[in-house]
Structures are given as C-alpha cells and as structure tokens.
Amino acid sequence: MSAAAVIAPMLVTFLQVKPYEAVGIALASDVLASAASAHTYKKNKNIDVKNGLVMLVSVLIFTLVGSYLASFLPQATMGGFSMFMTLLMGLKFIFRPVMEAKESNRNRSKKKAAIQSVVCGMIVGLICGIVGAGGGMMMLLVLVVVLGYEIKTAVGTSVFIMTFTALTGALSHFAIGGGITDWSILVMCILSTLLFAMATAKFANKASAKVMNRMLGFGLLALSIVMITVNYII
C-alpha cells in the first residue's frame, strides 16, 4: 500500500504540519519505500513491468496536475479529506477485500485494457497529487478489478509505479509550496518508512491475500479513528 496515504494525515494530526507540506513529505517518504518493496516483489517474480508502463505515464502526468490543483485548496479541506479517506479505505479492505480478479477481466482485449489503464491512471494521478497518496491502494484496485491481475502481482506492479508517482508528486509539491520547513521530519519519515517497507514486503510475499487485506484494513481503520478523535472530538 501507499505509505503516503498514512503519513500525510498523521503529520497533520500529531505534528501540526501544514497539509500541503505534509503531502510533499509523505510522497517523498514513499519513494525509497516503494523502490525497496518493488525490488523484493521483483525477486519473487511478482511484478509486471511491461504492462504497467501505460498506466505509469498517465499517472505521472496527472500527479503533476493534482499537485498544482492542491495548492489552491484550503488547508483544512486537505487535512480532513485525507483522514476520512484513510477511514474509508480501511473499511473497504475489511469488508470488500481485494482477492482474485474475475475471469472476464483477464480476457479483455489489449486495446480495451490500454484505454482503461489511461483513464484509471488519470484518476489515480489526481488523487496522488491532491491527497498525498502515492496511489498504491487505488492502483491495486485498478490492477485487480479492472485489468485482471492476480493479487500479489498487482501489489508488486503498483509499488513499482508508486516509486515514480511519489517522486513526481513530491518534487512538484516542494516546488509549488516553497520547500521544506523542517528537514528532521522529512529524514525521519524517509528512514522509518524504508525500514518497515523492506520488512513488510518480505512478509507480504509469503502471506495469503486474506491476511494481507485484513491487516491493512484494521491498521487503516484504527489509525483513522485515532486521528479523527484527536482532531474533531477531543
């Protein structure tokens, strides 16, 4: 999954980082973590680089568009939206887990799959640029449900694409937003995310799809409840 989807709302909630800067830090943290995870999935032959390139181009372009649009959004709107998105994604993985793709999706023509990849890449890119998610969770859903990938190949392909989308989004956010105010937060986020990504990628390649979905869902749900409580209840 995208570490950025978790980091951005946490920075806003617990460290009072401005939402736009938090998005940039979150995306920057996702670059090395995604690259390390992709390397692990590649070793286990769970990445489809060739067929992921079409979506990659579309996602990269619209990540830049999303980053630009995000600079015009109110700070409170960005922070609140990312928290509730975390809650919804947690519920989705618990009650509607991503398991196997339908056989009909696997048999679609190459032309239709390419068009779907471009359109879905546009949507994922916008979400990545605006919310601060590297797009991993959305890409995972697209690769399995729309393009017919098996779950582990979908995860591996999504983190491969995330490496480039997160880098593009981070650079554009820092360029538009005026840079970083606290480098220590950025460094700590990058290091901690990288270490845990390397460890969990090894586990994920061995775990079942059901276990992966449940762990992800309950983790996101618990995190979102804590953040919403701190911001809107206490």
Separation CA 89–CA 85 (nearest Å):
6
Mean per-residue pLDDT over the chain, rounded: 80
Q: What DSSP line would sit under 51-67, residue for residue?
A: HHHHHHHHHHHHHHHHH
pLDDT at 173: 78
pLDDT tens per residue, range 38-51: 999 999 888 888 77
Q: Is residue 155 within 8 Å of residue 99, measured between CB atoms?
A: no
Separation CA 63–CA 157 (nearest Å):
18
pLDDT at residue 103 tops 80: no
User: What per-residue string of b and e applies to 169-183 under the rule 16 or more CB within 10 Å gives b?
Assistant: bbbbbbeebeebeee
pLDDT at residue 106 tops 90: no
Mean per-residue pLDDT, 119-127: 82
Lowest mean pLDDT among 18-27, 66-75, 192-201: 66-75
Q: Tokens 């032959």 — which residue?
A: 45
More confident residue, 156 or 84: 156
Mean per-residue pLDDT, 149-159: 83
pLDDT band at 188 (very low <50, low <70, confident <90, very high): very high
Lowest mean pLDDT among 16-25, 118-127, 137-146, 153-162: 137-146
pLDDT at 191: 94
pLDDT at residue 30 tops 70: yes
pLDDT at 1: 57
pLDDT band at 189 (very low <50, low <70, confident <90, very high): very high
Mean per-residue pLDDT, 71-95: 72
pLDDT band at 68 (very low <50, low <70, confident <90, very high): confident
Q: Tokens 């956010």 — which residue?
A: 173
Q: Which helix (H) or strand (E) holds 77?
A: helix 75-95
Separation CA 202–CA 57 (nearest Å):
28
Mean per-residue pLDDT, 145-149: 76
More confident residue, 31 or 140: 31
pLDDT at 67: 73
